[in-house]
Amino acid sequence: MSANDYSIESTKETGGVAEENRIMPPKSTNLVEDVTMQKILHSDKGVSLLLARLKRSIVSGKECLSFLKKKVSTEESYASDMRKLYRNTKEAIAKPEGRKDSFSSQFEQLIRIEERRADASNRFVAGVQTIFDELAEVIRNIEKSRKVVKESNLRNEKLVQDAEQAMEKAKSKLLSLREDLDRSRSGDPRKGFLRGAKAGPQHEEELMRKITTAETEYNQKVQTAQKLRGQLLNALRPDAVRQLKDLIAECDAAMTLQLQRYAGLCEAKALNDGLAVSPIKTETSTALTARETIALIDNELDLYNYVLQSINSRPVTRAQLESQNGVQANTTASANAAIGTTPGVRTSEAPSENTVTGSSEQVPGQSSITSAGPGPGPGPTSANTLQSSSEYLSNEETSQAMEITNSNLPPGVPPAVFGTPIGDLLDYEGGMVPYVVYHCIRAVDEFGLDSEGIYRINGDVAKIQALKQKFNVPWSQPGEFSSPDDYFNDINNVSGLLKQYFREIPDPLLTNELYSAFIEGSKIQNETQRRDAIHTEVNKLPDPNYTTLRYLCFHLYRVQEHETQNRMSAYNLGVVWGPTLMGTAGGAEDMPSTSQVIETILTNCYVIFNAD
């Protein structure tokens, strides 16, 4: 990767913040083309200067690598300790010795927030590890290239030096021979010379031959030295300078880019930490902040429920305490208003042997399903456990009051919708599924399939109670959700109302009678055998329960088809709906099994139910 490649990438990756929104300092440009700098670089010390500078860059790069390696090691060790802490804390919360009330549920939710922060930290560590690996590869390659350039330059410089030394040696030899010739002609006595007239001419002739040979040799050495130096100055040294400049630029750009990426990861990690602790409020997301989560702890109510449990009284919620009198008063008023009237009864034939062909046409507004079966979804979101815990505590919240009210109604008076056995309610309404189920599902189908966390996120308790009263009136004027204004512009109020209806049924939709069989079926490891076992128990349901379950499951299948938008997979829906549709007869230890039952039904609804 060249320096240009790094400079291009550095303009693209800025830690998740648009480059144009950043105030960046100006960059120095064209300084390497300065005339003075070019003269220095192409001089005899230019290559050695660049080699020394590149070595400094490599040393700095190794310092960056050392920092990144220690950062990864430290973060991994910290993350491992935190995961162990969170796991031990959740196990401690689940132990029976501690509080089992709003404190434990909200404390567990706080741990979920911490786990989301830990997940972000894991992504940060993975990103830093990638930066380390890429930078280490660049530094390693540049160090190898520096060694190659250095050895090549030393070899070229040595060739020139050897040629020039050979030239100087030939020059010295030639000068020495010429001096000998001059002394011989001048008669200057010299050790080793032959004396006499005969010896003089012979010696001069011999010296002349040697001088001629030395001149030829010297000229060749000069040409060789000049050629090699010309190649060095005009080609080899500039090429070495260019290579070293490119390596320096690449090394420096790589370090700068990777540090920019690291800074971006730090920004993203800090942002994720902030959003995990204090999520942004939007029209479609009502996630609680960490402070709001802990603020939901109601110590007084927890103590109240704990004391009442000593006389086997059912636990209640603050909203139930505040609205219980109003619920009974409104229900009684609705009953009195209907005395003496005979509402129109809708007729329907119960399906034989639990086959429900054509039931979708008998309930207006039910949409058919044509898509393929659901695909695998991600693991549960962090709020699922809290949601399931709250449902576990509220499964019998107000049903006792509704049962008392319904049992005292005169003959012919419409029963309250909530808390009435589903068979009795359908006998009165004359439909295949309860009106409240039909209207809630139609509203979610129309307005909430893409709502993030649908059925996982709770709506406003007071507004859900207000919607509940709309359906606890004679069905000559049933409640409808034709626009968002009808449910206070929060689809979670409708989903919360639907879950509350099923929680308040005296006998859960999947019935207490079949509870053990469903639980046993959910524990079968083979998926096909588990599906068939649960299918067998579904077929044993009473007709009202079967048709209602069928209608609900096809709706939930449509919900999980929009998992990309709403983050609700079949698994997540199973976690949310398991305790609601099966009850809590087996306690908290059976909650995973109840979730498995619902997940299996949803993922195999086309096999278990007739989709016509």
> Which structural domain range is residue 525 located in?
509-612
Asked whether the beta carbons of 478 and 342 are under 8 A apart, the reply is: no
379 assigned to some structural domain: no
Distance CA(549)–CA(502), nearest Å, equals 11
Together in a domain, 332 and 223: no
Residue 586 has a pLDDT of 76
Distance CA(247)–CA(239), nearest Å, equals 12
Together in a domain, 325 and 267: no
Together in a domain, 548 and 490: no
Q: What is the dihedral of CA 28, 33, 36, 41, to 10 degrees?
A: 110
Residue 168 has a pLDDT of 87
Comparing CA positions, the residue from 266, 291, 265 lying closest to residue 278 is: 291
72 assigned to some structural domain: yes
CATH of the domain at 448: 1.10.555
Comparing CA positions, the residue from 460, 391, 441, 433 lying closest to residue 559 is: 441
Asked whether the beta carbons of 71 and 259 are under 8 A apart, the reply is: no
374 assigned to some structural domain: no
Together in a domain, 44 and 67: yes
Together in a domain, 141 and 16: yes
368 assigned to some structural domain: no
Together in a domain, 563 and 463: no
Burial of 587 (0-12, 13-18, 19+ CB in 10 A): exposed
Distance CA(328)–CA(405), nearest Å, equals 7
CATH of the domain at 547: 1.10.555.10
Helix axes 237-277, 46-94, angle to 10 degrees: 20
Long-range contacts, stretch 465-469, CB < 8 angstroms, 24+ apart: 465/319, 465/323, 465/326, 465/327, 467/493, 467/494, 467/497, 468/327, 468/418, 468/497, 468/500, 469/327, 469/330
CATH of the domain at 62: 1.20.1270.60
Together in a domain, 468 and 595: no
Together in a domain, 402 and 446: yes
Residue 405 has a pLDDT of 39
259 assigned to some structural domain: yes
Together in a domain, 92 and 241: yes
Of 250, 277, 304, the last residue of a domain is: 277
Comparing CA positions, the residue from 444, 435, 505 lying closest to residue 473 is: 435
Tokens for 379? 């693991």
Q: Within 10 A of 458 (CB to CB), how many other CB atoms are there?
A: 20
Residue written as token pair 């909203």: 319
Asked whether the beta carbons of 108 and 389 are under 8 A apart, the reply is: yes
Tokens for 297? 């702890």
Of 277, 299, 328, the last residue of a domain is: 277
Together in a domain, 502 and 560: no
Q: Within 10 A of 366 (CB to CB), how many other CB atoms are there?
A: 19
424 assigned to some structural domain: yes
Of 247, 277, 307, the last residue of a domain is: 277
* Phi-psi label, residue 460: left if phi above 0, alpha if psi -120 to 50, beta otherwise: beta
Reduced to 3 states (helix: H, G, I; strand: E, B; else coil), residue 228 is: helix
Residue 368 has a pLDDT of 35
For residue 589, what is the DSSP state?
G
Together in a domain, 441 and 590: no
For residue 236, what is the DSSP state?
I
Domain count for the chain: 3
Kindly report the backbone phi and psi dihedral angles of residue 199, in degrees, each rounded to the nearest multiple of 5, phi listed first.
Answer: -75, -30
Residue 165 has a pLDDT of 86
Together in a domain, 514 and 463: no
Burial of 302 (0-12, 13-18, 19+ CB in 10 A): middle
Comparing CA positions, the residue from 534, 517, 512, 343 lying closest to residue 435 is: 343
The model carries a pTM of 0.45
Distance CA(51)–CA(35), nearest Å, equals 20
For residue 18, what is the DSSP state?
-
594 assigned to some structural domain: yes
Which residues in the chain show pLDDT less than 50? 1-20, 191-198, 325-413, 474-477
Tokens for 253? 């750009």
